[in-house]
Structure 1
Amino acid sequence: MPRAQKPAHIAMFSIAAHGHVNPSLEVVRELVARGHRVTYAIPPSFADLVAETGAEPRLWNSTLPTDDAPEDWGTELIDNIEPFLDDGIQALPQLIEAYRGDEPDLVIHDITAYPAPLLARRWNVPAIQLSPNMVAWQGYETEVEPIRAELRATERGRAYYARFRSWLEEHDMASVTDPDRLVAHPRRCLALIPRAMQPHADQVDESVYTFVGACQGDRSHQGDWQRPANRAPGTKILLISLGSAFTNEPGFYRACIEAFRDLPDWHVVLQIGKFVDPSELGDIPGNFEVYSWVPQLAILRQADAFITHAGMGGSQEGLANGVPMLCVPQAADQFGNADMLQALGVGRHLPKAEVTALTLREAVFSLVNDPEVAVTAERIRREMSAEGGTARAADLIEAELTERDGVLTDRSLVGGRRR
């Protein structure tokens, strides 16, 4: 694929959440390495992480709940979606000012960065969505319409949609007649997930969506991990992590410790997050390492099994390394991801309410000892590798730049159409 003819200013927009920032980081790092100037609009808590890629953080203040208080997201659907609209509305003036006199040539953005398409329209530049999870397929609207209808039947839901439409109209986006289309139906999208994790993948519009797979790279800056030298050859490695947000689960961690305590042929790395103190876990067996945070990818490259909450980031890291996964989802899309991994034949979905030391141990052993799981995991690992990952994502972004400049002539390079 032809490279962009000249360096460009590319602006990336996201929110202060690991599950939304992390998938884009290696793509941004690659674009910087190719000579582009990348600015990354992000709240201050993620500025250092962004700066490590070589991009310039453009700071704005967010009103979204943080990982320190995940309970602030509430329990109902409207509780989960209102904060994104509120945050987008208050962020837009900040972002306009942050880019005044330094407008980009191209906008790339996370699915939750609602101001980004509005800014691209304002600046008359292309926008590419970078989706860290599943995308819409033919028939998607029919499946979700009952949920939307239920939401619109409430006073709070009607007010949400009215406010969203008014905001879009105010900023010359009246053509987006349904606010849900802003996220679910972008003009162009790179799905930063493997095709294997996409429901109804054969019904996805390939002229809009391209699956590039896991965008991983050199994570040496996050630290390294090596299996202890005193462990016998053949000792199996188990990683246990519930991610970064829903980690206040001391009872779950105690069940994990009981499940794998002192097993001579297993070594366990347990990440407990920042809410739980190791003293709450009781006696730590000699075959366990316990940390508040671990370099997950470095461990997965050596792991034999992974107990995970089935966030999309961890799910695809497990797939990319051919590691069988026991999924104990906690919230949001994790339940669907767990079901997808089970359907693929590389995982098991263990509901949180059914977690005991016995169910954990039996599920992990059944995964690791099943030869069909190993064969399937290796096949998916190879398929993901062929999707192109970081380099392909950067190629497609550069193709958008060259097309804008009138350089690109091969229509097949950008999904079979000129836009």
Structure 2
Amino acid sequence: MTPTERAHIAMFSIAAHGHVNPSIEVIRELVARGHRVSYAIPASFADKIAATGAEPVVYTSTLPTDDDPDEWGTELIDNIEPFLNDAIQALPQLAAAFEGDEPDLVLHDITSYPAPVLAHRWGVPAVSLWPNLVPWEGYEKEVAEPMFADLKTSERGKAYYARFEAWLAQNGITTHPDRLVARPRRAVVLIPRVLQPNADRVDESVFTFVGACQGDRAEQGQWQRPAGARKVLLVSLGSAFTKQPAFYRACVKAFGDLPGWHMVLQIGAHVDAAELGELPGNVEVHTWVPQLAVLRQADAFITHAGAGGSQEGLATATPMVAVPQAVDQFSNADMLASLGVARHLPMADATADALRAAVLELAGDPEVARRAEEIRRRMASEGGTHRAADLIEAELAAARPAPADA
């Protein structure tokens, strides 16, 4: 296939910023190259998808949303079972939506279980757009098996796996549930290789790292450093695990009225700014900020170390204090610290004194600045959005039969 040949590509994801945002610029680039992209997504993200030029295919989801992260529960089975429940009820919706308009290729986030099922049904290739760290050779024995051992012997866990296997079998798939997403045929990895644990053991014939696919984010708005602010600090715990008023108060205590510093504090939708008390003049508080625009002017970043925030900090060479909240954020925090551009500060230890000391140490260390700039340059060389689109077009070309006179 030549780059000018138009194809129909179907993308599948869930209503979560951490899973939609990494794909946005890739989708925008595919549309710009002339492809028709249908993007299956719940209604709350339809406008965001439409802005890329893709056509939103709206389906109803039963997954908890960023509006109430507590709905995810506290046990491992609570975290994974909703994805199966959602997949089972979403599959008929999605099959009907694409009936008679089947795509040439399926793209999907790692959370979208119906996508590989539909690709199998349609006989088209599936490519995973992977938004975080990937499994390496040996991952199952080193990480997955110990993590899932208790679940697999519990009654609820056995029922989950039996139901998952039965659903896959009904759809003609014999792949074990654990491998359905974790071991795709092909994946474009939307994080820099430098964030990947055991990168030397990753099968790069399957997983190709393309680095940050961020774009200019102009549609998110701009931010301007205030006059007189010699140093700028951004504090953000992302979009999901933001119910942390005590943590935000510690940040205000640590940096409020600190000479020369200006703090931009994003508190999310679950905390009222009034809970933080009286705010000094060098502190601005928002429910949401154009994060990349702030980071391009920031001198330090206190982050939950989600995949998106971590790579935005690296892409802007901003030193980070990582205060992880859940899932892969803990390993991301350790990886950032190992690169010499961040400190991992557990939430329980994130006092005002500890936060201030960590930020000042990082921001004042020229070796940290040197390492951060080196990583920024290395990331830029991975290709980003354009390379991701090239890889997807290569999959399209491989899937299409050669002309008879070739």
Query: TM-score per shorter chain, which class?
Result: over 0.9
Aligned to 1:200: 198
1:231 and 2:258 equivalent? no
Checking the alignment, whether the CA contact within 8 Å between 1:4 and 1:399 is kept in structure 2 is no
Aligned to 2:63: 64
Checking the alignment, whether the CA contact within 8 Å between 2:323 and 2:346 is kept in structure 1 is yes
**What TM-score results when the alignment is normalised by the length of structure 2?**
0.97
Residue type of the partner of 1:255?
A
Residue type of the partner of 1:92?
L
1:377 and 2:375 equivalent? no
Q: Post-superposition shift, 1:4?
A: 2.7
Checking the alignment, whether the CA contact within 8 Å between 2:4 and 2:33 is kept in structure 1 is no
Aligned to 2:160: 160
Residue type of the partner of 1:319?
L
Residue type of the partner of 2:3?
A
Aligned alpha-carbon RMSD (Å)? 1.2
Residue type of the partner of 1:204?
V
Aligned to 1:215: 213
Residue type of the partner of 1:115?
P
Identity of aligned residues (%): 69
Aligned to 2:127: 128
1:152-173: per-residue Cα shift (whole Å, max 9, x none)? Answer: 1101111111111101110011
Aligned to 1:297: 292
Q: Post-superposition shift, 1:3?
A: 4.5
**What TM-score results when the alignment is normalised by the length of structure 1?**
0.94
Checking the alignment, whether the CA contact within 8 Å between 1:3 and 1:399 is kept in structure 2 is no
Aligned to 2:317: 322
Q: Distance in 1 between matches of 2:42 and 2:147?
A: 31
SS in structure 2 of the partner of residue 35 of structure 1: coil
Q: Post-superposition shift, 1:5?
A: 4.5
Q: Post-superposition shift, 1:289?
A: 1.2
Q: Post-superposition shift, 1:336?
A: 1.1
How many equivalent pairs are there?
402
Q: Distance in 2 between matches of 1:362 and 1:207?
A: 43
Checking the alignment, whether the CA contact within 8 Å between 2:3 and 2:33 is kept in structure 1 is no
Unaligned runs of 5+ in 1: 409-419
Aligned to 2:151: 151
Change (3 A) 1:262 1:121: same
Aligned to 2:249: 254
Q: Distance in 2 between matches of 1:237 and 1:304?
A: 5
1:179-222: per-residue Cα shift (whole Å, max 9, x none)? Answer: 11011100000010000111100111111110000111121111
Change (3 A) 1:404 1:274: same
SS in structure 1 of the partner of residue 248 of structure 2: helix
Checking the alignment, whether the CA contact within 8 Å between 1:78 and 1:157 is kept in structure 2 is yes
Q: Specify which of 183, 189, 192 is matched with residue 191 of structure 1.
A: 189
1:332 and 2:327 equivalent? yes
Aligned pairs (5 A) from 1:22-33: 22-33=21-32
Q: Specify which of 253, 263, 270 is matched with residue 275 of structure 1.
A: 270
Q: Specify which of 332, 337, 340 is matched with residue 345 of structure 1.
A: 340
Unaligned runs of 5+ in 2: none
Aligned to 1:40: 39
1:402 and 2:397 equivalent? yes
Larger mean CA deviation between 190-199 and 369-378 belongs to: 369-378
1:367-396: per-residue Cα shift (whole Å, max 9, x none)? Answer: 111222111111111110000000100010
Aligned to 1:54: 53
Larger mean CA deviation between 367-376 and 202-211 belongs to: 367-376
SS in structure 2 of the partner of residue 164 of structure 1: helix
SS in structure 1 of the partner of residue 177 of structure 2: coil
